[in-house]
Amino acid sequence: MSDRLFIFDTTLRDGEQVPGCQLNTVEKIQVAKQLEALGVDVIEAGFPISSPGDFNSVIEISKAVTWPTICALTRAVQKDIDVAAEALQFAKHKRIHTGIGTSDSHIKYKFNSNREEIIERAVAAVKYAKRYVEDVEFYAEDAGRTDNEYLARVVDAVVKAGATVVNIPDTTGYCLPQEFGAKIKYLMEHVDGLSAGKAILSTHCHNDLGMATANTIAGIMNGARQAEVTINGIGERAGNTSLEEVAMILKCHKGIDIDTNINTQKIYPTSRLVSSLMNMPVQPNKAIVGRNAFAHSSGIHQDGVLKNVQTYEIMDPKDVGIDDNAIVLTARSGRAALKHRLSVLGVELEGERLDATYQEFLKLADKKKEVNDDDILMLAGADRAAAHAIKLDYLQVTTGMGVKSVACIGLDIAGEKFEASASGNGPVDAAIKALKNIIKRHTVLKEFTIQAISKGSDDVGKVHMQVEYDGHVYYGFGANTDIVSASVEAYIDCINKFKK
Ligand code: KIV
Ligand code: ZN
**Main-chain dihedrals φ then ψ at residue 242, nearest 5 degrees:** -95, 140
Question: Domain of 423: which CATH number?
Answer: 3.30.160.270
Which ligand is nearest to the Cα of residue 172, counting in written order?
1
CA dist., res. 497 & res. 342, Å (int): 28
Q: Is 139 in the pocket of ligand 1 (CB under 6 A)?
A: yes
In a domain, 481, yes or no: yes
Q: Is 381 in the pocket of ligand 1 (CB under 6 A)?
A: no
Read out DSSP for 141-188? ETGGGS-HHHHHHHHHHHHHTT-SEEEEEETTS---HHHHHHHHHHHH
**Going residue by residue through the chain (500 aa), what tens digit of pLDDT does each one get?**
679 999 999 999 999 988 888 899 999 999 999 999 999 999 999 999 999 999 999 999 999 999 999 999 999 999 999 999 999 999 999 999 999 999 999 999 999 999 999 999 999 999 999 999 999 999 999 999 999 999 999 999 999 999 999 999 999 999 999 999 999 999 999 999 999 999 999 999 999 999 999 999 999 999 999 999 999 999 989 999 999 999 999 999 999 999 999 999 999 999 999 998 998 889 889 999 998 888 766 667 667 767 777 777 789 999 999 876 566 788 888 888 899 888 877 788 889 989 999 998 998 888 887 888 778 888 887 666 667 889 999 999 999 988 899 999 999 999 999 999 999 999 999 999 999 999 999 999 888 888 765 566 777 788 888 889 998 888 888 888 888 999 999 999 899 988 77
Question: Domain of 219: which CATH number?
Answer: 3.20.20.70
Do 196 and 318 sit in the same domain of this protein?
no
Q: Compute the distance from residue 248 Cα to the ligand 1 centre, in Å.
A: 24
Do 307 and 265 sit in the same domain of this protein?
no
The tally of domains found in the chain comes to 3
Look at residues 357, 383, 409 and tell me which one is the last residue of a structural domain: 383
In a domain, 252, yes or no: yes
Residue 69: which of 46, 90, 92 has the closest Cα? 92
CA dist., res. 77 & res. 80, Å (int): 5
**209-233 CB burial, b ≥16 within 10 A, e <16:** eebbbbbbbbbbebbbbbbbbbbbb
Name the H helices within 231-325.
243-252, 267-277, 299-307
Do 167 and 252 sit in the same domain of this protein?
yes
Of all atoms in ligand 1, which is nearest to the CA of residue 142?
A: 3
Ligand 1 pocket test, pick from 171, 175, 216 with the greatest ligand atom count within 8 Å of Cβ, gives: 171
In a domain, 116, yes or no: yes
Q: Compute the distance from residue 205 Cα to the ligand 2 centre, in Å.
A: 7
CA dist., res. 140 & res. 212, Å (int): 17
Q: Compute the distance from residue 478 Cα to the ligand 2 centre, in Å.
A: 29
Do 255 and 165 sit in the same domain of this protein?
yes
What is the value of pTM for the model shown? 0.85
- Which protein residue has the closest C-alpha to ligand 1 atom 1? 171
Do 362 and 409 sit in the same domain of this protein?
no
CA dist., res. 453 & res. 302, Å (int): 23
- Which protein residue has the closest C-alpha to ligand 1 atom 5? 141
Do 379 and 421 sit in the same domain of this protein?
no
Do 194 and 106 sit in the same domain of this protein?
yes
In a domain, 334, yes or no: yes
In a domain, 287, yes or no: no
Do 88 and 237 sit in the same domain of this protein?
yes
Domain carrying residue 305: 299-383
Do 319 and 456 sit in the same domain of this protein?
no
- Which protein residue has the closest C-alpha to ligand 1 atom 8? 14
Is 204 known as a binding-site position? yes
Q: Which protein residues have a CB closer than 5 Å to ligand 2 (ion)?
A: 14
**Main-chain dihedrals φ then ψ at residue 422, nearest 5 degrees:** -165, 160
Do 237 and 260 sit in the same domain of this protein?
yes
Of all atoms in ligand 1, which is nearest to the CA of residue 139?
A: 7
CA dist., res. 96 & res. 130, Å (int): 9
Is 482 known as a binding-site position? no
CA dist., res. 423 & res. 421, Å (int): 7
In a domain, 283, yes or no: no
Do 186 and 146 sit in the same domain of this protein?
yes
In a domain, 158, yes or no: yes
In a domain, 16, yes or no: yes
Collapsing DSSP states into helix, strand and coil, what is residue 288?
A: coil
Count Cβ atoms within 10 A of the Cβ of residue 314 and give its class: 0-12 exposed, 13-18 middle, 19 or more buried.
Answer: exposed
Look at residues 348, 383, 418 and tell me which one is the last residue of a structural domain: 383
- Reported as half-sphere exposure (CB side, CA atoms, 13 A), residue 88 has a value of 31
Of all atoms in ligand 1, which is nearest to the CA of residue 73?
A: 6
Do 418 and 451 sit in the same domain of this protein?
yes
Look at residues 243, 277, 311 and tell me which one is the last residue of a structural domain: 277
**353-365 CB burial, b ≥16 within 10 A, e <16:** ebebbbebbeebb
